Amino acid sequence: MPNNKQILLDSRPQGEASVSNFRLVASETPALGDGQVLVKHLFLSLDPYMRGRMNDAKSYAQPQPLGQVMQGGTVGEVVESRNANFQAGDKVVGMGGWQEYSVVDPQQGGMLRKVDTTHIPISHYLGAVGMPGVTAWYGLVKIIDAKPGNTVVVSAASGAVGSAFGALAKSRGLRAVGIAGGPEKCGYVKDELGFDACVDYKQYKDAGSLSQALKEACPDGIDGYFENVGGMVMDAVLMRMNAFGRIALCGMIAGYDGKPAPLSYPQLMLTNRLKLEGFIVSEHMDVWPQALQELGMLVGSGKFRPRESVAVGLEAAPEAFLGMLKGKNFGKQVVKLG
């Protein structure tokens, strides 16, 4: 069996995460038992939710155990199988974690799924046609439920979730406005993803000035908001929400380092009778087939061309992960292995 490099969570962050929280090790891959398959990972996924799991604190997911492989999504190829449903050469998506190989028991529900790479590059099954894409779909369709002509806004618009949200919104006849950091990202959001407008939050020092920019981008107000960031960005959007607007609360990256991310104008939720709903997409597995089918058609047809930031080699994962938390990535952040 092959030698397997792995990255473990070695210590819990005190405030901001650092490379020293991780440790690289190598070990022999265990022999396969009946029903198991050996997967060689081709790409692994880096996602903001992983930062929250590094803390030993109450959250919607169990904390990442210390001394164990960092958990996360992977795509790869079956190299050996003792399972009748999988053959060597099958391309698969699973939760193999930050390592080069994984031994998987596919009988454990949802642990491994075959994917078709004829029209969709395999790495996109970690992004646009994977968990981030389904996250965007659920927030837009099940929570915001906007009608054609409505205005919807998404923060972190150039990222994996935000870009999928824009593609889905435009396919439904909505006015889509993004919030992103920097002229290059805003240019991509407008020119390549087809958003109607994009506001560069880095140009504004406070919620009031950012809200004024949103007023120009959303002259009819905001009917639905998909929140990935929190903090000043959320304050600015709240000032522009229309009565009976809906907010899908997916991420609060502004507070992932353990600092408070207070709301400055919570009274606006009452004034405008807003509906705000937090959600975790893994709790809604019933919608995944429908969402993945629509996302796969958008990507496969070329109507949605997701962008990726690709780090190379397992050793690059910690730095790439920390950079993503600071917005250094452009699109979905993955690590290419092998």
Q: What is the pLDDT of residue 109?
A: 58
Q: What is the pLDDT of residue 36?
A: 93
Range of the domain at 99: 3-127+307-336
User: Does 107 or 92 have the greater pLDDT score?
Assistant: 92
One-letter amino acid for residue 173 of the chain = G
| Residues 93, 216 share a domain | no
The string of pLDDT tens digits covering residues 71-91 is 999 999 999 999 999 999 999
Distance CA 101, CA 287 (A): 29
Domain assignment of residue 174, yes or no: yes
Specify whether the CB–CB gap between 98 and 317 falls below 8 A. Answer: yes
**CATH code, domain with 37:** 3.90.180.10
| Residues 214, 314 share a domain | no
User: From start to end of the chain, where are the E strands?
Assistant: 3-9, 22-28, 37-45, 74-81, 91-94, 101-104, 112-114, 151-155, 175-180, 197-200, 222-227, 241-249, 275-278, 308-312, 332-336
Interval 288-300 mean pLDDT: 95
Alpha helices in 44-159 (DSSP H): 49-53, 131-138
| 245 contact partners, CB below 8 Å, separation of at least 6 | 221, 222, 223, 224, 225, 272, 274, 275
Crossing angle of helices 288-300 and 131-138, in 10° steps, is 110
User: Does 110 or 101 have the greater pLDDT score?
Assistant: 101
- Residue 331, both tokens: 């699109």
Q: What is the pLDDT of residue 165?
A: 97
- pTM of this structure: 0.89
| Residues 260, 141 share a domain | yes
Q: What is the pLDDT of residue 253?
A: 74
| Residues 144, 266 share a domain | yes
Specify whether the CB–CB gap between 103 and 47 falls below 8 A. Answer: no
Interval 142-163 mean pLDDT: 95
DSSP one-letter string for 277-289: EE--GGG-GGGHH
**CATH code, domain with 255:** 3.40.50.720
One-letter amino acid for residue 19 of the chain = V
Domain assignment of residue 212, yes or no: yes
- For residue 258, name the pLDDT band (cuts at 50, 70, 90): low
pLDDT at 327 over 90: no
- Residue 237, both tokens: 């959007």
Q: What is the pLDDT of residue 229?
A: 87
User: What whole-number percentage of the chain has pLDDT above 70?
Assistant: 96
| Residues 144, 105 share a domain | no
Domain assignment of residue 297, yes or no: no
Give me the chain's average pLDDT, please: 93
Distance CA 186, CA 33 (A): 50
| Residues 278, 136 share a domain | yes
Domain assignment of residue 16, yes or no: yes
Query: What's the structural domain count of the chain?
Result: 2
At residue 247, what are phi and psi to the nearest 5 degrees? -125, 125
Domain assignment of residue 90, yes or no: yes
| 142 contact partners, CB below 8 Å, separation of at least 6 | 279, 284, 287
Domain assignment of residue 292, yes or no: no
| Residues 225, 115 share a domain | no
Domain assignment of residue 166, yes or no: yes
| Residues 324, 185 share a domain | no
Domain assignment of residue 287, yes or no: no
**Count of C-beta atoms within a 10 Å radius of residue 242:** 16
- For residue 60, name the pLDDT band (cuts at 50, 70, 90): low
pLDDT at 257 over 80: no
The string of pLDDT tens digits covering residues 203-242 is 999 999 999 999 999 999 999 999 988 889 999 999 999 9
Could you tell me which of 235, 215, 216 has the C-alpha nearest to residue 227?
Answer: 235
| Residues 276, 160 share a domain | yes
